[in-house]
Amino acid sequence: MLRLFVGIELPEAVRQALAEVREAHPAARWHEPEHLHLTLSFIGQVEQEAARNIAQVLADVPGPSFELAVQGVGYFGSPERPRIFWAGVTESPPLNRLQQRVEARLLPLGLRLDDRPYTPHITLARVRQGLPLQALLQRHARLSLPTFTVDHICLFLSGGAEQGVRYEVLERFQLV
């Protein structure tokens, strides 16, 4: 079984700028810069044949390239029990349309996709109890990075490792 998701690779300069947000703290498991990405659709566990079908439908996802910028930070969970510390992106109708097109292509394959509203974010750290979240949020509240061009999407393989979660690009699909 393969654990897959569709996402956007971040340029090296963006990943390195986001790496500077990292702080040493035992309650945070920071993602390595090379694994930072923006998820469009989490697919989950599928067989190899389903992965091939997914790649086929993603090959012709229509839509133009567009500009996107990282801005602000936030978290999922409650203030007392945050689970994920993330960087946000600027409001982007092209991103929202792309995410909807990706899911529209995946649904006919019988996949069980996330039914929560799409909240674009870049997971920076997984959080255990005890992270001084308010101070971290305040220190990085004005995070704002230059825009970058989104000209392709990726089918990612997600796997665990002793050093933390690992992501591997299986295929890239150009936006036209």
DSSP output for 15-63: HHHHHTT----TTEEEPPGGG-EEEEEEEEEE-HHHHHHHHHHHTT---
Say whether 25 is catalytic.
no
Say whether 37 is catalytic.
yes
User: Active site residue: 31, 35, 121, 140, which one?
Assistant: 121
Distance between the two ends of the chain, CA-based, in angstroms?
Answer: 31
User: Active site residue: 31, 37, 140, 152, which one?
Assistant: 37
Q: Count other Cβ atoms within 10 Å, centred on residue 5.
A: 18
Place of tokens 């949020």: 137
Tokens representing residue 157 in the block: 């393989």
Sheet of 28-30, strand order: 28-30, 121-127, 82-89, 70-77
Buried b / exposed e over 82-92, threshold 16 CB at 10 Å, is beebbbbbeeb
Check if the beta carbon of residue 171 is closer than 8 Å to that of residue 7: no
Catalytic residues: 37, 121
